[in-house]
Amino acid sequence: MFKAIFTNSFGILFSRILGFIRDMLQASILGANIYTDIFIVAFKLPNLFRRIFAEGAFVQSFLPAFTQTRRKGLFSVAIFKRFTLFLLILSIFVTLFPTLLTKLIATGFSPKSIELAAPLVAINFYYLLLIFIVTFFASLLQYKNHFATTAFATALLNIALISALLYSKDLDKYSMIYNLSIAVVIGGILQVLVHLIAIKKYGLHRLLLASFKRKDRHPADLTEDIKSFKTKFFASTLGSSTAQISAFLDGWLASFLFAGSISYLYYANRIFQFPLALFSIATSVAIFPKVSRYLHQNNTQKAQEILQKSFWFLLSILLVATLVGSILSDEIVWLLYQRGSFSTQDSTQTARILTMYLIGLLPFGLSRIFSLWLYATKRQEEAAKISAYALGLNIALSLLLIYPFKAAGLALASSLSGFLLFGLTVRAFGTKAFFDIIRVKYLVALLIFTALLSVALIYLKEFLHAYL
What is residue 388's predicted lDDT score, i.e. its pLDDT?
84
- What type of residue sits at position 109? F
Domain carrying residue 34: 2-437
Name the percent of the chain in helix, strand, coil, to the closest 5. 85, 0, 15
pTM of structure: 0.72
What is residue 186's predicted lDDT score, i.e. its pLDDT?
96
What is residue 355's predicted lDDT score, i.e. its pLDDT?
95
Task: Label residues 336-351 b or e (16+ Cβ within 10 Å = b).
Answer: bbbeeebeeebbbbbb
In a domain, residue 461? The reply is no
User: What string of pLDDT tens digits covers the 468 residues of the chain?
Assistant: 556 666 666 777 788 788 888 888 888 888 777 788 888 878 877 777 766 665 556 777 777 777 777 788 888 888 898 889 988 998 999 899 988 888 887 777 888 888 888 999 999 999 989 988 998 998 888 888 787 888 788 889 999 999 999 998 888 888 999 999 999 999 999 999 999 999 998 888 888 887 777 655 566 667 777 877 777 777 666 666 666 677 677 777 887 887 778 888 988 988 998 898 888 877 887 787 788 778 878 888 888 888 888 898 899 899 999 999 999 999 999 988 888 778 889 899 999 999 999 999 999 999 988 988 887 787 877 888 888 899 889 989 999 999 889 889 999 999 999 999 999 999 999 988 888 887 655 676 677 777 777 777 776 777 776 665
In a domain, residue 447? The reply is no
In a domain, residue 445? The reply is no
What is residue 161's predicted lDDT score, i.e. its pLDDT?
93
Show the CA angle centred on residue 26, arms to residues 132 and 48, nearest 5°: 25
In a domain, residue 468? The reply is no
Count structural domains, the chain: 1
What is residue 16's predicted lDDT score, i.e. its pLDDT?
77
In a domain, residue 250? The reply is yes
Are 142 and 60 a contacting pair, CB within 8 Å?
A: no
What is residue 25's predicted lDDT score, i.e. its pLDDT?
85
Are 436 and 381 a contacting pair, CB within 8 Å?
A: no
In a domain, residue 226? The reply is yes
In a domain, residue 50? The reply is yes
- 408 Rama sector, left if φ>0, alpha if ψ -120 to 50, beta otherwise: alpha
Q: How far apart are CA 2 and CA 286, in angstroms?
A: 8
In a domain, residue 456? The reply is no
Q: How many CB atoms are located within 10 Å of the residue 206 CB?
A: 12
Q: How far apart are CA 310 and CA 306, in angstroms?
A: 6
